[in-house]
Every structure is written in C-alpha cells, then in structure tokens.
Structure 1
Amino acid sequence: MSTEIDATAQFQALVADPRHRRDDSTAMVEQYYALVGDVYRESWGPSQHMACYGPGQSREEATEAHEKDLADRAGITADSYVLDLCSGVGGPACTIAAHTGARVTGVDLVADRVREAQDNARKRGLEGRVSFRVADATALPFDDSVFTAAYSFEALCHVPDKHRAHREVARVLRSGGVWTGYDWMRAAGPQADEVAETICRTHGLAALATLDELRQGLAAAGFTDIHVSDGRDLGDWAPNWDLLEKLTAELPPRDQLPPVLRMMTDGARAACAGARSGDFFIGYWHARRTQEEP
C-alpha cells in the first residue's frame, strides 16, 4: 500500500501544475497508465473509450458499433492503410481491421500498452493486418504520405501540442486522406475552464480543447472539408455517464478507497458532472488532407 500511496502522490504532484502537464507530458502519461492500467483493463477491456449508444445497446454492443461507424464514416475499406493515433491497448484497431479488412498501424506513447495491444491482436488472429509501435503523436516515425486514413479515439487530450499532432497526421496522410475521431473537450467560459482543470488533474491530461480550437488546429495543418461537432449531434452519450455514476455509487466511502481508486473516482465524478452541465463533452471531427492537383 505504501508503494501505491507514494506513486499516486508523485503523480498528483506532477499534474497539479498545468505547466508540468505540458512540459512533462510523457512522464505524466506513463505514470498515469502505470497507476490505472489494471482498473481500466478490468472495467473497460481493450476499448478504453466512451461510446455513442443506440437504442437498447449494451456497453459492449455500443462500443463495437461506435468503432465500426467511425470506420464507415471515414470510408475505410480493405484497400486502406490506416493510422490509429494513440492506439491504447488496441481494441479499436482490431475492431476496425476485422470490420473492414484494412491494414491498421497503431502508435502509442506507453510501451506496456503497446505490448498489450500486440497481445490483443494475436488473440484475435489479426497479426497480419494490425501492428503497433511506441511513438509520440507529435513526431511520427513514418515517411510522408504513407496512410490513406487516420483516426483517434479520445486520446489527443493527452497531447500538449495538438496543432503539431494535426500537422504530423497531415504529413503522413496521402492526398485526400481522411483524419477523423473523437476527443474529450470543454465548452468555452470560466466555469468550463474550472471543470476541465479538475478532469485534467485526475486523468493525466495535458489540456482540453474547445471545438473552435480543434477547428483552428485542423485548418492550420492544411486540412479541408472540416467538420467538428459535439458528439451528441451523432447520438446518445448519456449511458456512459449513467454507468460511471452507478459504478462510483457502488464503491465504499471515499476515505476508505485506495489512493488510485480515490483519484479515479474523483475524476469520474468530475467528468459526469461536467457532462451533465455541458461544460465537458466528447467532440467529433472529420477532415480531409488537401487534395493535390494531378
């Protein structure tokens, strides 16, 4: 227990200052997933993101449908070579590869999560179409114009320089390639800023962007046909918050929880409260790399 207390305290000291979250983001993300990885694995499985729900869907059904829907919106097919940016433990990459027949390459900052993603791909028999490697979203280890499409599920919030990440994606996409995904975002205004700060401190996030900031980053990177929106325009996200509220309500009192669960519970409650008030939401984007003249 003392080791867990020390590790949690070290992480919380790091994330308390927004400047540290920006300047020491690699250490922050590595420490965060070292602390919460086991809980995420047990609670969420290989797809560790929220989902847009259809009527009567379970979480597993909604998650799979959500991932397939993104692939379909992006026009990913068996001929596609796709980048999964900040790919986590590989659930979306495996689902999209199995659904479309595409080849998917995932990159993630945390080596342990990359190894787990590789294991998940092997278990699903997808080694030939899905691969993963350790890499920084702002310095991708690929040549220019390699991929036909790219996506990310709720992970750019960990990246301090989101504009640079957009530029890197534009660099490695072929002419006309689609860049799409979902991310944790904040509304504009002082109250939303306060909510976002609490969420960032408890989830190891660099910062939350607004929809305007997302649009600006995509445009500055040279993308066209830009669409950004609140994910609620696409369907129902409330079951995510219902589930989190149910899970946190079933836990022992806060002062009886281990340090990591205490931090995660604080984070879950902040996210739920922000989502209910509209100060926090899951945003969606879809854009296309500038089409080069023939």
Structure 2
Amino acid sequence: MSKEGALDLASGVGGKIEKNEVLSAVDQYEKYHASFGGNEEQRKANYSDMVNKYYDLSTSFYEFGWGESFHFAPRWEGESLRESIKRHEHFLALQLGLKPGQKVLDVGCGIGGPLREIARFSSTAITGLNNNEYQISRGKELNRITRVDKTCDFVKADFMKMTFPDNTFDAVYAIEATCHAPDALGCYNEIYRVLKPGQHFAAYEWCMTDSFDSKNQVHQKIKEEIELGNGLPDVRSTRQCLEALKLAGFEVIWEKDLALDSPMPWYAPLDPRHFSLSSFRLTAIGRFVTRNLVKVLEYVRLAPEGSQRVQAFLEKAAEGLVAGGRKEIFTPMYFFLVRKPHSGSTSAEAS
C-alpha cells in the first residue's frame, strides 16, 4: 500500500466539503437512513443532497479500493477483477452496437473510468452526466491524463431533469448509477427524451431479486445496510425497473440478471472468505489495513475528522452486499437493453 495512495485517500475524503465540516456531513448523511431514524420518503425527497454528500465522502475510498471504475462484474476463474471490469464495460458497448463518431451519454458516470474505457474501445464521443462537482473535477483531470479530453466531457446536472435537448444522443448507458434515482420512471423518462428515435439504452441496475421477501426481517436489514452504505433512496426490484422502462415507452430487447451467469460470485471481491492479491484493498484483510490506516491518518490530522465514520458505513455496505449476494436477494447487475421506437415522440408527449 503506497504512501502516495494513502495520502490521496486522506486528501480526498470529503470531496468538495470543507475539511472541518466532514464530520457534520457524515452526521447529516447518516440521518437519512433507517438505522439512524430516517426513512424512504426523506431519502427520496432529499436524494440530490444525500447522493452528493455520499460521493463527496466516499469517492476517495472507492478510487483507493476499486480504481477508476466503481462497479461489479461477472468474473471467470483466473481472471483479475480489473480484467472482468473491462470486459463488463466492453460487453455494454457491444450490446449498444456503438460505432465510431457516435455521440453517447453515460448517465451517472462517477469519475469516468467506464467512460474512458468505452470511448477508447468504441471510438465514440462520450458525455458523462454527473451531479457531483468533486467527481467531475476528478474525472476531467483523468481525461486529460489519458488524452480523451478532446472527445469526452462531463456535464453537471441531475439525471431527473437533464439539460440536453430532445433526441440528442445516439446511445445512452448507465452502470450501477440510476439506482440513485428517487423514481425509476422519472429517470427513464428523461433518458427516453434525450435518446434519438430508433436508438438504444442499456444499463446495469442494482435490484432486489424475486427471492427478496419484504416481510423477512433479515432480508430487510440487508436491504437497509445496502442503502446506507451506498447512498440509495430505495433498492427497487427487477420487476419494478422493467415495468418503469415499459411505462417510459421503451421496447425491451432483452433483460437478465447477469449475476446468475457469473462463474465466480459477483461479491467475491468483498467476501471475507475470498483472498486476491490483484484486488487486495477490497478483501477483508485489505479493508482491515485500510480501516487502521484511516484511523492513523485521522489521528495525525492528515485525514479530516469523520473519515473513520465514512469507512464504517462503507464496511456496513460491504457486509450488506455480501449477505445479499449469498442469499441471492440482491443483484448489482440486472442488465437490460431497450430501444426508443422510431415514432420519436417523447414519453411526456405521449402521456
């Protein structure tokens, strides 16, 4: 674990939040969630503030553990986590049929890891939509370093009310991002509006599966841990997402929980029973080392007060994700490929 990596982690905690206000931001963030007295209605009503605080607080931890792409992927035996993540991104590009010169939208792009990978893989121009200023500034820096800044850019906007004109993009994708939307239909309506008629939208969604039982207290606790640790208003079911896509006006080409096809469990990088040198920082031992590193960095004031609290709710997230994966009640890779009909009317006009 390099000194530079540790210092980047320490300096990044809090994002654009003033360092002396990080602890207060953690308090405010946690209060949105059930474990701290919050509820789903509060999270949905204040989703923009909640999600922004979440990513200001957690982005440096994500980049420290995951690299530039913050998502899971189906993984083959002998394949590194990074290799599987790249393949998962290429799969999305191939399903969309991306072609050189097309104008593509990445909805909820994070710091742009998938954006850069897919842009280089498909020779397309990609716009990353993100409502978090810190992630955009980090993404722009990485775009310059990798020299894709001439064809790829970022727009700061809420994906519930995008600033683009109707029928702007040749393709749209989202990778484990639209789960932050307070309302799936509202989000899909906006994606439908900005997509050109006859073109495709593909995504990996975080969802509860048909095995989830809302009356089961263990299941409900796992769901709450996932929501707390990942800045989510509510984790919807695969059925709810599919229904919302149809109501938005999309034609469903195909959909499937790709976790069912993964030779290795998708949650293996976070599983205490799993060890990998290639993704050491995500393993139980790696997280233990990080936890103590953050404790030291906060003690010597290189990391702001509250950093350990961020580490703690991210640990809860890991526990919830692993438990949800083992019980097969949660998936981070419900995939769908849908098409906007050639009729071209927006869903708002049609309703």
Give yes or no for TM over 0.5. Answer: yes
CA distance in 2, matches of 1:146, 1:2: 41
Pairwise CA distance, 1:47: 0.5
CA distance in 2, matches of 1:2, 1:118: 26
The answer to whether structure 1 residue 110 and structure 2 residue 137 are counterparts is no
SS in 2 for 1:14: coil
Higher mean C-alpha displacement, 186-195 vs 264-273: 186-195
Q: Which residue of 2 aligns with 1:284?
A: 335
TM-score, scaled to structure 2 = 0.78
The partner residue of 1:51 within 73, 83, 93 is 73
CA distance in 2, matches of 1:21, 1:47: 25
CA distance in 1, matches of 2:331, 2:254: 16
Change (3 A) 1:4 1:139: closer
The answer to whether structure 1 residue 195 and structure 2 residue 183 are counterparts is no
- 1:235-254 Cα offsets, whole Å, 9 max, x none, are 3451x422212446321799
Identity %: 26
CA distance in 2, matches of 1:90, 1:181: 16
TM-score, scaled to structure 1 = 0.92
Change (3 A) 1:174 1:253: closer
Q: Which residue of 1 aligns with 2:106?
A: 84
CA distance in 2, matches of 1:249, 1:65: 25
Pairwise CA distance, 1:194: 4.0
The partner residue of 2:31 within 2, 10, 13 is 13
The partner residue of 1:229 within 230, 247, 256 is 256
Higher mean C-alpha displacement, 205-214 vs 85-94: 205-214
Pairs within 5 Å for 1:148-227: 148-187=170-209, 188-190=212-214, 191=216, 192-227=219-254
CA distance in 2, matches of 1:165, 1:144: 14
SS in 1 for 2:342: coil
Change (3 A) 1:200 1:125: same
Count residues in correspondence: 292
Pairwise CA distance, 1:234: 4.4
The partner residue of 1:96 within 106, 113, 118 is 118
Change (3 A) 1:121 1:78: same
Pairwise CA distance, 1:56: 1.6
CA distance in 2, matches of 1:252, 1:176: 50
Give the aligned residue type for 1:10: Q
Q: Which residue of 2 aligns with 1:260?
A: 310
CA distance in 2, matches of 1:112, 1:2: 17
Pairwise CA distance, 1:197: 2.3
The answer to whether structure 1 residue 147 and structure 2 residue 165 are counterparts is no
Contact map agreement 1:18 1:206 (CA 8 A) in 2: yes
Contact map agreement 1:150 1:178 (CA 8 A) in 2: yes
CA distance in 1, matches of 2:107, 2:28: 27
CA distance in 1, matches of 2:139, 2:107: 13
Extract unaligned runs of 5+ from structure 1: none
Contact map agreement 1:211 1:228 (CA 8 A) in 2: no
Which of these two proteins has the greater Rg computed from alpha carbons?
2
Q: Which residue of 2 aligns with 1:22?
A: 44
CA distance in 1, matches of 2:140, 2:226: 29
CA distance in 2, matches of 1:202, 1:235: 24
SS in 1 for 2:105: strand
- 1:18-73 Cα offsets, whole Å, 9 max, x none, are 12210111110111112111111111111111112234211111111110111011
CA distance in 2, matches of 1:236, 1:71: 22
Extract unaligned runs of 5+ from structure 2: 1-18, 273-281, 296-307, 345-351
- 1:163-187 Cα offsets, whole Å, 9 max, x none, are 1110111111111111101011102
- 1:223-269 Cα offsets, whole Å, 9 max, x none, are 0134222122443451x422212446321799996211111111100
CA distance in 2, matches of 1:236, 1:51: 11
